[in-house]
Amino acid sequence: MTLINKLNFPDSFQWGTATSSHQVEGNLTNNDWYAAEQQGGYIYENQRSGQACDWWNRAEEDFDRMAAMHQNAHRLSIEWSRIEPRQGVWDESALARYREMLVGLRQRGITPMVTLHHFTNPLWVSEAGSWENEQIITWFERYTRKVVAALGDLADIWCTINEPGVVVSHTYLLGRWAPGKRDINGALHATINMMRAHAASYRAIHDLQPTAQVGLAHHMIIWKPWRPYAITDLLATNMVRYMFQELLLKTIAWGVMRVPGRRSYLMPEVRNTLDWIGLNYYQRYRIRLGLPPFSKPSVEHRTHPDLQTGPGEWGEIHPRGMFDTLRMLWKVYRIPLYITENGIPDENDENRPGFIISHLHQLWEAIREGVPVKGYYFWSLIDNFEWTEGYDPRFRFGLIGVNFETQERHIRPSGNLYSAICRDGGLSRDLVSQYAPHLAQTVFSGA
Ligand code: FCB
């Protein structure tokens, strides 16, 4: 066994962070999340996103921080409700601001990955039924064309939709996001429309920019039965895994959506509409099928008490799951991959340094096995508005902390660690010894 002191990544590797418009820009008052904030009942302490990180006015200050931290890539999203505030009405000044932002990134040597849809819909779209209304396919395509025509000279890596599976499950099945539905048919229609909207967007981008690299960001969880010997837990686990994450990718691979217990939906137009898959990887859940009353089984997820977890229902931290998922994705789909998100809620930065090290170790192992992962976008550069968790202090994701009263930033130790990793193009033994000495043995032993 050769002793090595550094896990090197490919020279062309994209080292970055990810953000999204509603979570950082501030003063977004024309989308469905704003409406939910006004309505109350969905967000921690009924908070509002408000000024968020004030990116609409000061993104460049954080771009300077990215550059100082040696990042060469950033994943950000465009806010549809700014570009098309009313149906068919385009706001050129919003497009101009995004141009300015993309130019700002590029001037600092940071390659942008642009997400077109990260959870929010303009109010006019949500009033028309959001993803349940199939017209959204045409609307989303038109919006895509507008954005790509305006910004395509500044970006060529596009992410159509962020986490379709999360949008569907939280909005239409679990009732957690406005309008809080629990409706299987609604969920099904939304899924179909999302996939078709993705496909229409994919083709529109290629039409305008043949060299573009287009994918989507998919939230994938490691699902495990709570009691491996219980057939009920096993079946429930397989079902959840299939519905939440396999269905989408398989439909895109095959052009047919197979829903257990229902008919198959032919969708030839969605076939082969991914140039890459973006993996958003955070955690592992154990599934248990709650029994009584048997007529109404419910699927619960639990966390093993002995394993490291996050707050609330965050689940278990399980770095090996990133390796397993990457290997599976490459084996089945044979297209390049990105880690489009990976991170941990950890205000005091107790676990984030170790989290980064152990996940990058697994990512390195995957690349070593020949899995073509082209970049890693840590979630997130800065603390921001965390959807239903709002500004709950337990849900701080930033390498850089934000004081939301004053907009002051402070870099966390994990920010310095990630900065050194990006600078070195890999993970050195010295860094591991400095930031998480307990991991040095594991990370370098088998290398
Ligand atoms: C992902 C979302 C992202 C952020 C992280 C913590 O599911 O895509 O916006 O909220 O979780």
Q: At 225, is the pLDDT very low, low, confident or very high (cuts 50, 70, 90)?
A: very high
For residue 289, the SS3 value is: strand
pLDDT at 446: 66
Atom of ligand 1 nearest to the CA of 343: 6
Any ligand 1 atom below 6 A from CB of 385: no
Answer yes or no: is pLDDT of 52 > 80: yes
Q: What share of the chain is helix, strand, coil (3-state, %, to 5)?
A: 45, 20, 35
Answer yes or no: is pLDDT of 6 > 70: yes
For residue 335, the SS3 value is: coil
Cα 47 to middle of ligand 1, angstroms: 17
The encoded tokens of residue 437 equal: 């000495």
Q: Are 61 and 55 a contacting pair, CB within 8 Å? A: no
Written as one letter, the residue type at 223 is W
Cα–Cα distance between 67 and 58 in angstroms, integer? Answer: 15
Full set of structural domains in the chain with CATH: 6-445 (3.20.20.80)
Q: Are 363 and 373 a contacting pair, CB within 8 Å? A: yes
Cα–Cα distance between 386 and 42 in angstroms, integer? Answer: 12
Cα–Cα distance between 41 and 38 in angstroms, integer? Answer: 9
- Give the mean model confidence (pLDDT) for residues 45-50: 97
pLDDT at 305: 81
Answer yes or no: is pLDDT of 197 > 70: yes
pTM over cut 0.85:
yes
pLDDT at 388: 97
For residue 348, the SS3 value is: coil
**Helical (H) or strand (E) element with 111:** strand 111-117
pLDDT at 361: 98
Atom of ligand 1 nearest to the CA of 162: 8
pLDDT at 229: 95
Atom of ligand 1 nearest to the CA of 395: 6
- Give the mean model confidence (pLDDT) for residues 123-132: 98
Cα 398 to middle of ligand 1, angstroms: 12
Q: At 313, is the pLDDT very low, low, confident or very high (cuts 50, 70, 90)?
A: confident
Any ligand 1 atom below 6 A from CB of 117: no
- Give the mean model confidence (pLDDT) for residues 64-70: 98
What's the chain's Rg over C-alpha atoms?
21
